[in-house]
Structure 1
Amino acid sequence: MHPLRRLFAFARPYRRDAALGTVYSVLNKFFDVLPELLIGVAVDVVVNRQASFLARLGLVDPMHQLYALVALTVAVWVFESIFEYLYALKWRGLAQDLQHTLRNAAYAHLQALPPDTIARERSGRLMALMNEDVNQIERFLNTGANDLIQVFCSSLMVGAVFFALTADLAVLALLPIPLILLGAFWFQKRLYPRYAAARDAAATVSSRLNNNLAGMATIQAYTAEAFEAEHVRAASDDFRQRNAAAIRVSAAITPVIRMAVLAGFIATLLYGGWLALNGKLGVGSYSALVYLTQRLLWPLTRLADMTDLYQRAMASANRVMDLLETKLPVRGNAQPAAPAKGALAFENVGFSYDARPAVQDISLRVPAGQTVALVGGTGGGKSTLLKLLLRFIDPDAGRIRLDGMDIAALDPAALRRVIGYVAQDPFLTDGTIADNIAYGERVPDLAKVEAAARAAEAHDFVAALPQGYASAVGERGAQLSGGQRQRIALARALYRDPAILVLDEATSAVDNETEAAIQRSLARITHQRTTLIVAHRLSTVRQADAIHVLDAGRIVESGTHDELVARNGFYAALWRLQTGEA
């Protein structure tokens, strides 16, 4: 489907605004063309006086004719100005409204996609899409739509006047228009792929810069400044070259159109002058036609800018619409039992990434209120099971039950509200500590915030900060240490008092003191709720009610810590490796 049709389909609620804007643009152009006709009438009055066109309408006195022309001119300019104000107001307002709606729709759709789908996309490309691409569409609606409408209307109106006065001259004057339009379409076809390539190159630059800013400490630590600067230079140079390829084509449009305009103007000047000299065309009519030829053909020189703006907007519209049409996962609408008990059951669950099995035929039960740990080597399938539980992905085989209900039938948002999730690398929003603990609530309950922080052993370090819970954490929690971020993330999970607590490597990146603090927290809070822990550090899961060892996507051992050590199998080998035992 053409990108303009896709954009129109999305903008259905704004069709009334677009229709009004079109009407105002047409009326503005109508009054814009009239002054040239009035110039011809004025010349006719001065030359022919009592025999002029206005004299035949009853105004015999030449001065009265001039007074009438002055009044008409004032009225025409006033109406032209009024409709120019109205079309600018309507088109620019529409541009801002549609820009706002598009950006919010794109972001909302992005939030509804699974995290793995988003992770496969370059962040720079997504940022460019929601900023520059949406802005490009806004710029086209701001001015480009009105320009296209007015050029079309101008051609119709002026062409009608030409044919009314002299058909022969009209054919000569209008002859360049088809050539101009064909040339514009020819250039359009060559511009579109060039601008699409330029937008992709711009996304690459944005992605590279975004990635490097996030990893500046590593870049400097490895003295890789020159190395990364070369990467940025290469990406920027590719963007520059792709833009240059588009510019070479777009820059040629105006000179070509000017030559066509010159041909039409010369035809009017010579042939119209010959008709006037031989008495076949009035001097006033000749004057009006010369001016109207300029008014008809000269705006076509702006086709270069219009075509350039249009093609950029259509390339951007396609990218935005592609995102909005990305298929969303199937969502259930059932609600978990209230209150949720937290009993979990994985029944013959299997999942593959691009035909590569991640978990195979996993079956395990987590009774309500128990703590169950998943351990094993990298790539064993532990984190995949957590993603399946949170419905970030859906299983290829088997099913997962919460309190006896298949989670595929549950509303994912309702499911996640009964789960407290702590990631290995916790995300903190750029706000205060209280904002992050009560994440998602506009007005945090400060008593609950402090209670959650105490449970996560975060209260002491928060209270020691100059502003306490009102202290800013910085972008992605940059003002806090890794251990402090982890404890804030744990407090955030506890704030919502979930039936299920999910810890994904929650202590893998913290020091021994922080791990001990988190261990103390877990010892107090896990007996109140179902807890599912993924861990590489086996010391974190020694007290779990059950430990399941995963290898190559399968459960190879299950039992308590003491049972598994006594069995002298896979888990015992991992334990000896971590404790340094022979």
Structure 2
Amino acid sequence: MPPVHPLKKLFQYAKAYRSDFRLATIYSILNKSFDVLPEVLIGVAVDIVINGDKSFLAKRVLGGFGITDTWHQLMFLGAVNALIWAGESWFEYLLSIKWRKLAQNLQHDLRLDTYDHVQKLEMAYFENQRTGNLMSILNEDINQMERFLNGGANQIIQVICSSIMVSAVFFTLQPSLAVISLLPVPLILIGAFWFQKRLAPRYSEVREAAGDVSARLNNNLLGLATIKAFATESFEKNHIAEASNAYRQANSSAIAISAAITPVIRMAILAGFTATLVYGGWLTLQGELAVGAYSVLVYLTQRLLWPMTGLADVADMYQRSMSAIDRAMGLLDTKINIPYEGKHVAPAQIKGDLQFDKVDFAYGNQKTLQQISLHIPAGKTIAFVGSTGSGKSTLVKLLLRFYSAQAGKITLDGTEINEINLQDLRRCIGYVAQDSFLTDGTIAENIAYGMQDVNDAAIRDAAQAAEAMEFISKLPLGFATRIGERGQKLSGGQRQRLALARAILKNPPILILDEATSAVDNETEAAIQRSLDVVSRNRTTIVIAHRLSTVRQADCIHLLEAGEIMESGTHDELLALDAGYAALWRLQTGERTHG
């Protein structure tokens, strides 16, 4: 099956704007119609001056009575000219407004729809994508489409219209001259399309290279502290130079072809204009063509052919836009493998009873979980410990449906989580990760993130429960203090306390702490542990930790290794077992567990 053209994809997407497309096209056609007429009036004026009361206007206007007085003919011609210019200007205004508004609305909708679609893609999709490349599509590629609709679409329509209208006038006045003079037009159009086809793959490479540059810049800006700490500024500059040079070379390849379009078109134009000028002049001298008609044809040839030199720029803009639209539409067409639809539930209805039944999962060929079966009773605190890569965080990601289990099932209060509306499922879960996402907003906005109609007292209570009030009260603006992009104005411990306050304010029936204390100091860990002791009461709580001291009070601790549960029990029971957990405890604390 042949690939669908990007322009067709865009029209299929923009169904709601088809009437706007039609109206904008009509305005472009009417504007070009009025734009061509002044050249016709020049020929009529020449005819009036030369032939006087025997002119075209005297013979054929007003039902055959004519305007015989030369001055009256010129006055009438001036009035018609004023109306034509007014019409041309009016439709120029209308088409400009309509095309620009259409471009703005369409790029706005496409950006939002594409971003919304990206948010719904499963986490596995992002493992093979770079953030900078996605940003390039969502920003620059969609902007490129906007630029094409702002001007390029109107130019293409008007070139087609002027070709048709001027050809009609030519064949009406002098068919033999029309054949010779207009012969370059199809050659010009064919040549433009020939070049365009060769530009297509090159501009696809340009857009990909632009995405590479954006990805590298985004990666380095996020890791600037590490770059500075390792004094690798020159090393990373070279990486940027490589990506930028690849972009430059991809553009150079496209420019080598696009730059050749204009000279080729100019040569074709020269042939057509020369034919009109010389052959048309000879026909006039022979009396086969009126002087006024000759003037009209010369001016129309100029009006038709010279704007075609702009086809080079239009073809260049068009192909850049098609490559950009193709990437944006490709992203929008990416299949969502984890559907959002399902049974609606409210957090207040959820008890929090979880069951994992023979769950398997693998990242590619790497087996991560093998036949995991366990029960997490509602209201209990359950901990998962084990070495890095043992599958602890994967269990949580499956519960949140960032990924889908490849075998087995997970149930919440007896209902498979695949049958629950995805948004409702996640609203039932409070999630505090090792590196929680914070926005460039205020302290209060970050605590109330994702929640509406939250009063200041509730935000303060959540901060108090997370033991965050001590540092918030010392900030110049308190809860109104902006914390910078990703919370960079705060320490790691402060960011984690805000993340915990956010989860507390959400008040979910299930709370997950995924390595939430692994990157904080002992004081912050103790504070979070005190908060956890309070907020975990009568709430299903799942704690993933490397530090065993943070989970010793859990109702049950599961030790995972290589994707399998090796041991389960309370802290004291596992120490008494004197196996893997006890060995980890001795390693971390130096305490003896028996004897």
Instruction: Answer whether TM exceeds 0.5 for this pair.
Output: yes
On the 8 A contact 2:339/2:422 being kept in 1, the answer is no
More displaced, 11-20 or 110-119?
110-119
Q: 2:471 aligns with which of 461, 464, 487?
A: 461
On the 8 A contact 2:58/2:67 being kept in 1, the answer is yes
Q: 2:291 aligns with which of 263, 283, 292?
A: 283
Letter matched to residue 147 of structure 2 = R
Counterpart for residue 416 of structure 2: 406
Q: How does 1:463-502 map to 2 (within 5 A)?
A: 463-502=473-512
Counterpart for residue 537 of structure 2: 527
**1:274, 1:470 → 2: CA distance?**
83
Q: How does 1:186-265 map to 2 (within 5 A)?
A: 186-265=194-273
Shift of 1:443: 4.6
On the 8 A contact 1:336/1:405 being kept in 2, the answer is no
Q: How does 1:331-350 map to 2 (within 5 A)?
A: 331-336=340-345, 338-350=348-360
Where 1:252 maps in the other structure, the secondary structure is helix
Shift of 1:581: 4.7
Counterpart for residue 586 of structure 2: 576
Counterpart for residue 46 of structure 2: 43
Shift of 1:241: 1.0
Counterpart for residue 299 of structure 1: 307
| 1:334-387 C-alpha deviation (Å, 9 max, x unpaired) | 123642111111111111111321111100011111000011111111111100
**2:565, 2:265 → 1: CA distance?**
73
On the 8 A contact 1:332/1:408 being kept in 2, the answer is no
Q: How does 1:543-554 map to 2 (within 5 A)?
A: 543-554=553-564
**1:458, 1:531 → 2: CA distance?**
21
On the 8 A contact 1:438/1:445 being kept in 2, the answer is no
Shift of 1:569: 1.2
Runs of 4+ in 1 over 6 A off after TM superposition: none
Shift of 1:308: 0.5
Q: 1:28 aligns with which of 26, 31, 39?
A: 31
Where 1:502 maps in the other structure, the secondary structure is strand
Shift of 1:451: 1.1
Q: 1:437 aligns with which of 444, 447, 459?
A: 447
Aligned pairs, number: 582
Whether 2:89 is the aligned partner of 1:56: answer no
On the 8 A contact 1:331/1:408 being kept in 2, the answer is no
Shift of 1:115: 3.1
Counterpart for residue 63 of structure 2: none
Counterpart for residue 394 of structure 1: 404
Q: 2:331 aligns with which of 316, 323, 336?
A: 323
On the 8 A contact 1:369/1:531 being kept in 2, the answer is yes
Shift of 1:527: 1.8
Q: 1:19 aligns with which of 17, 22, 35?
A: 22
**2:579, 2:197 → 1: CA distance?**
67
Counterpart for residue 161 of structure 1: 169
Letter matched to residue 562 of structure 2 = A
Q: 1:125 aligns with which of 133, 143, 148?
A: 133
Counterpart for residue 358 of structure 1: 368
Q: How does 1:504-543 map to 2 (within 5 A)?
A: 504-543=514-553
Counterpart for residue 65 of structure 1: 73
TM-score, length basis structure 1: 0.98
Counterpart for residue 272 of structure 1: 280
On the 8 A contact 1:430/1:477 being kept in 2, the answer is yes
**1:445, 1:534 → 2: CA distance?**
31
Shift of 1:74: 0.6
Where 2:588 maps in the other structure, the secondary structure is helix
On the 8 A contact 1:334/1:409 being kept in 2, the answer is yes
Shift of 1:289: 0.4
TM-score, length basis structure 2: 0.96
For structure 1, the 5+ residue unaligned runs are none
Shift of 1:442: 4.8
Shift of 1:119: 4.5
**2:29, 2:536 → 1: CA distance?**
70
| 1:47-98 C-alpha deviation (Å, 9 max, x unpaired) | 1112111121311111111111111111110101001101101001100000
**1:336, 1:288 → 2: CA distance?**
75
Shift of 1:417: 0.9
Whether 2:179 is the aligned partner of 1:171: answer yes
Where 1:15 maps in the other structure, the secondary structure is helix
For structure 2, the 5+ residue unaligned runs are 61-65
**2:166, 2:405 → 1: CA distance?**
66
